[in-house]
Amino acid sequence: MPNNATMQREYETLKAMIRLYCHGVHPNHEAGLCFSCEELLTYANARLKKCPYSKDKPTCDICPVHCYKPGRRKQIQEVMRYSGPRMIRSHPVMAVRHLLKRLKKPKA
């Protein structure tokens, strides 16, 4: 798990987005995440733990540091494009918090 409350919230938001995506796009599996989505969540968690911004972390799309490998970055962008609009209904507090975070400029 991430090392502070801000990063923990970031992880929980990411987990919710991946779960929405997985259940919507890969519906042919039991409860939980499919192998591919579970791997993505594990990878994303590892990247969060190494984030140089930690508690001042901006959203990934406005971050000056791209810490995901190109293939994983494409995968997480697909997840976010699918899940973003759906988060308002399923996780409104997380969605609003994430949208507000987009207004935050990363510290140099």
Say whether 85 sits in a helix, a strand or coil.
helix
Minimal CA–CA distance to 90: which of 2, 5, 20?
Answer: 20
Sorted by where each begins, the domain ranges of the chain are 5-101
Among the listed residues 60, 42, 30, 58, the one whose alpha carbon sits nearest the alpha carbon of residue 2: 42
CA–CA distance, 82 with 58 (Å, rounded to integer): 20
Spatial distance between the Cα atoms of 36 and 107, rounded to a whole number of angstroms: 33
* pLDDT, tens only, 4-62: 888 888 899 999 999 999 999 987 767 789 999 999 999 999 998 888 877 777 777 77
Which two structure tokens, joined as six digits, stand for 69? 């490998």
